Structure 1
């Protein structure tokens, strides 16, 4: 089974019982609205790819880890879009959750997705308690403070922002979680996988900064020009378009070189190359900085 099919089937399974278990109907509708239709699913795909490269001897544990990670990511998007943060009206080409269901349900749906992510890992503990415990700690570390995605969002409230720390927390954190959790799920040491996740995450954030500056909402499925509108730090603001493009390519080259030795090393290198091609092709990219 392809990674995307494996991820989506498991996500549908995790969310299928909401209505049958007596959840308030609108909340039961809002939660899957935040998860489907699928986005790129890049984080859980990387997690499963690393697990596969390391042997994937407990695929049910790797699948649970991938689901948990994607639920946390979807929760972060719901919260990011809220009026108190980005006030974004679009997400994945449809109205953001708070526009479709209202702000109270958006907050509650995001919170529910976070709790559900850790519940999925708790259930995996029935068959692999040591791995599930390590996966839970890893995901929690990259979700909260001081260096997880909550800290990344909090950097936007500071008057002086460390761009590298901001990118590491806001975006790279869940990519590091993806590579480390893939290794943990397969019974391997997580530490050697930090650099790969950090580099992919940093490149992804630079690509996102470029798309925000250069593309339209029709092309991205979400509001563009948000960094400038909200006076947020970005690679484009700091380096310019050409500088940011080169920086992203340099990071991706380093990501491939950082892949730890493992049976599936070549497969992982091909995956990173595939993402590199996607990230470096910007349909409306200009050769000069936007006015």
Structure 2
């Protein structure tokens, strides 16, 4: 089974767990709607790639970890799109959950996905409870306060923003979770993988800032120009397009250099280079902007 199919199957199994038995039909449908189709599944792909590079001796715990991370990410998108935050009508090229199902059901969908993520990990403990507990600890730390994605959203309500802490929490947290959880799922230490996750997360934040400034809604599959609209700090407003492009290149070079020694080190470096190519806006886009 290819990596993409493996991850999609793990996510589908997790969603089925959340919809099992008598359940509210519309909320059950919203859980599936929020997670499918899944886009690039970047975070679980990084997680599984790290696990494979480290040996992936317990594939079932790796699959549970990748699904749980994706559920938390999908939950964050549902909440981000709510009227109290971005008030976005579109996500992944289709109506956002609160537009398709109502605002109350969107709140419940996001909450349910977060709870389901931890349920998936607890059920996967089996004969590796130490790994499951470590995975739960990492995912909870990178989801909540004071350094997780909840903190990242919270920074936007502050009068003064610590930009480094804001970016690390808003975007970097789940990428740090991805690299750390991949290592933990394969029985390795989490800490050596922190820098790689942080650098990939920062690269995706800068790339997202560039895409928000350079692309339109059709290309993004979600509203464009949101950073300017909501007055958010971002790399383009601080560094300009050229400066943000250079910053992106520097971060990605550092990410490759930070990969810990492991059997699959070369394959991981290739994966980072692949994402670098995908993240960097093309010359055609930059010319059009000019």
Determine if contact 2:65/2:135 at 8 Å carries over to the other structure.
Answer: yes
Number of the residue aligned with 1:157? 157
Number of the residue aligned with 2:10? 10
Determine if contact 2:18/2:116 at 8 Å carries over to the other structure.
Answer: no
Q: Using the alignment, how far apart are the partners of 2:86 and 2:65 within structure 1?
A: 28
| 2:219 counterpart of 1:215 | no
Question: 1:17: how far off?
Answer: 4.5
Q: Using the alignment, how far apart are the partners of 2:115 and 2:283 within structure 1?
A: 38
1:240-251 alignment, distance < 5 Å: 240-251=240-251
SS in 2 for 1:176: helix
Q: Normalising by structure 1, report the TM-score.
A: 0.97
**Structure 2, unaligned stretches of length 5 or more?**
none
Question: 1:23: how far off?
Answer: 1.2
Determine if contact 1:241/1:288 at 8 Å carries over to the other structure.
Answer: no
| 2:176 counterpart of 1:176 | yes
1:1-291 alignment, distance < 5 Å: 1-282=1-282, 285-286=285-286
Across the aligned residues of Structure 1 and Structure 2, the Cα RMSD in angstroms comes to 1.3
Q: Using the alignment, how far apart are the partners of 1:281 and 1:272 within structure 2?
A: 16
Question: 1:285: how far off?
Answer: 3.3
Question: 1:263: how far off?
Answer: 0.2
Determine if contact 2:43/2:70 at 8 Å carries over to the other structure.
Answer: yes
Deviations 1:95-149 (A, max 9, x none): 0000000100000000000000000000111231000000000000000010000
SS in 1 for 2:85: coil
Moved more, 245-254 or 12-21: 12-21
Task: Rate the CA distance shift 1:20–1:133 in 2: closer, same or farther, 3 A.
Answer: closer
Q: Using the alignment, how far apart are the partners of 1:19 and 1:160 within structure 2?
A: 42
Determine if contact 1:142/1:173 at 8 Å carries over to the other structure.
Answer: yes
Q: Using the alignment, how far apart are the partners of 1:260 and 1:286 within structure 2?
A: 34
Q: Using the alignment, how far apart are the partners of 2:176 and 2:18 within structure 1?
A: 30
**Structure 1, unaligned stretches of length 5 or more?**
none
Question: 1:161: how far off?
Answer: 1.2
Determine if contact 1:242/1:288 at 8 Å carries over to the other structure.
Answer: no
Moved more, 3-12 or 135-144: 3-12
Question: 1:287: how far off?
Answer: 5.8
Q: Normalising by structure 2, report the TM-score.
A: 0.97
Q: Using the alignment, how far apart are the partners of 1:178 and 1:85 within structure 2?
A: 25
Task: Rate the CA distance shift 1:57–1:108 in 2: closer, same or farther, 3 A.
Answer: same
